[in-house]
A and B are shown apart, each in its own frame.
Chain A
Amino acid sequence: MMATATRPVVFVVDDDEDVRDSLRALLESAHWPVEDFAAAADFLAHDGLEEGGCLVTDIRMPGMDGLALQATLAARGIGLPVIVVTGHGDVPLAVQAMKAGAVDFLEKPFDDEQILTAVVRAVDRHRQDQGRQAAISAARARLDLLTPRERQVLDLLVQGRPNKVIAFELDISPRTVEIHRAHLMEKMDARSLSDLVRVAIAAGD
């Protein structure tokens, strides 16, 4: 199990104070740092949403409800995974929430294993998303270092053309293609051609 300090915060939004407090107690007993909010608006006004691991929110709340909160997060480009909890009879709403991208929904009252498993899954997923996002950003940053000519060579390499063909198409010597290729391998931090192609494709996502 990870140390508490390295674990991301689990946000809890529920208008029922006792449900909120009990959820905090449960999550803390499983060593998650928790920040809770009585209303969606309070949560959205909070700094550091990006550092969170996931959000557990009730659907039916006065003011902004869980669905609207989800939509607002999406509109702001905040990719925090959302776990929706609902009272009985809100199942159609929960389905709507799932369609809008919620990662899980749980009917109250839920078993501790259910909610804790959902949180672990959501946090892992968020970490992967962030990791992928970081890789993409890094690859894009490297692409920006290339000269226009190196960029042309890279595009043709990714399409699987051999050096000679590239030389012919760009009307340069094969020797020059080799020099460009060496430079762009270095700039893209790629050890092999397959490495290079992977980074280039990641950047293109």
Chain B
Amino acid sequence: MASAETTADSLFEALIATAVDGVVVIDAHGVVEVYNPACERLFGYDAAEVVGQNVSILMPAPYRDAHDDYIAAYRHTGVARIIGIGREVVGRRKDGSTFPMYLSVGEGRVGGRRIFVGIIHDITNRRDAERRLQDLQAELLHVSRLTAMGQMSSGLAHELNQPLTAIMNYVKAARRTAEGVEDPRVARALELIDKAAAQTARAGQIIRRLRDFVEKGETHRRLEDINTTVADAVALGVVGGGDVERRFDYATGLPQVMIDRIQIQQVVLNLVRNAIEAMAASPRRQLRIATAPTADGGVAVTVADTGPGLPPEIVDRLFQPFVTTKENGMGIGLSLCRTIIDAHGGELDAVAAQDGGTVFHFNLPAPAR
């Protein structure tokens, strides 16, 4: 049986040596018995520095000091805090820096001795991505609340302006019609008409001021890479979107564009969310995102879905404020998107896709020289 044991040993060695994740084996007192090469890469310590030491050197304070107690508590109570479960913890490198890791711990017995086996997976990248996403989400949420309010005011201003224009025209037409009639009652009526005209003009002024105020909102434009800008927003937009097939078609070698990144991401986020919502009841759910250069040296961005397409009664008014197909929608999103793209000197439009969905498309001009 000696050869079988040798084979098992060398298999174990190979497994430990080649594992991508870190493997640490400790005894019942926390002393390290096995420390594989992946661990050397993760923690910066050589095996010789760790084997025989208490495993707590791989942990930052305060876990470092508490670890012996954890093991003791488990030995006495049998209540597992991590064993057999696994969770996200923080590791400490030789240089003192820390990193997030996913640690799963198993318990075993070797020759009557109790040992614990820890498998360590570095989740630095995943955590980075999540944090970036959270930051972005918070930023976008804040900005979109502000801009949605601005957009609502400016949408309202525009809507009110139409009837106000009609009132002004009617009042002035009435005045001109009644002018020159010699009658004290007509003279009195003309006085009243003039007062009505003055009040209409006043309402117009208020709306104009409101509009000016909203439009003075600051924007922060700088040269940005459109692909990362779009990709970040798409990553956020598809969160919680369920089972949607994604097709990305990012062009390479695109010129940088002078944009307010947050605003453009808001547009993309809006379009992606709309696309996903539109496909909720569709048999085929494919979200297609593409970037491309434009003839004038700018870039174009496409967000396409395989939803049911736009209802014909809404197509013409799609980008107007307060027009919506959604039960709970305000009809602000797309009009806001268009306002943002307009302000960047680009154009946003929507066309029916050949296979029945909708294609939203916007372009951004080359930065001015």
Contacts and interface: CB of A to CB of B under 8 A. Distances in A.
A89 B211 contact: yes
A28 B170 CA distance: 11
B161 A87 contact: yes
B342 A19 contact: no
B211 A88 contact: yes
B165 interface: yes
B172 A87 contact: no
A13 B19 CA distance: 74
Nearest to B168: A109
B169 A26 contact: yes
Contacts of A110: 165, 168
Contact of B165 (A22, A62, A89): A22
For chain A, the bracket of interface size reads: 20 to 34
A63 B312 CA distance: 12
Give the interface centre of B161, B166, B167, B342 by most chain A CB atoms within 10 Å. B166
Interface stretch (B47-55, B96-104, B120-128, B200-208): B200-208
B177 A22 contact: no
A29 B166 contact: no
Interface in B189-214: 200-201, 204, 207-208, 211
Interface string A87-124: 11100100000000000000011111000000000000
B163 interface: yes
A96 B174 CA distance: 34
A63 B162 contact: no
Interface of B is mostly: helix
Nearest to A115: B169
Interface in A21-60: 21-23, 25-26, 28-30
A16 interface: yes
B168 to A, nearest CB: 4
B332 to A, nearest CB: 15
A205 interface: no
Contact of A29 (B172, B316, B317): B172
A18 B166 contact: yes
B170 A109 contact: no
Contacts of A111: 168, 172, 201
B158 A25 contact: no
Given A16-B162, A109-B164, A25 B157 contact: no
Interface of B: 154, 157-158, 161-170, 172-177, 200-201, 204, 207-208, 211, 215, 316-317, 342
List the 6 shortest-distance A-B pairs measured between CB atoms, nearest first: A62-B316, A22-B169, A112-B172, A29-B176, A25-B173, A22-B166
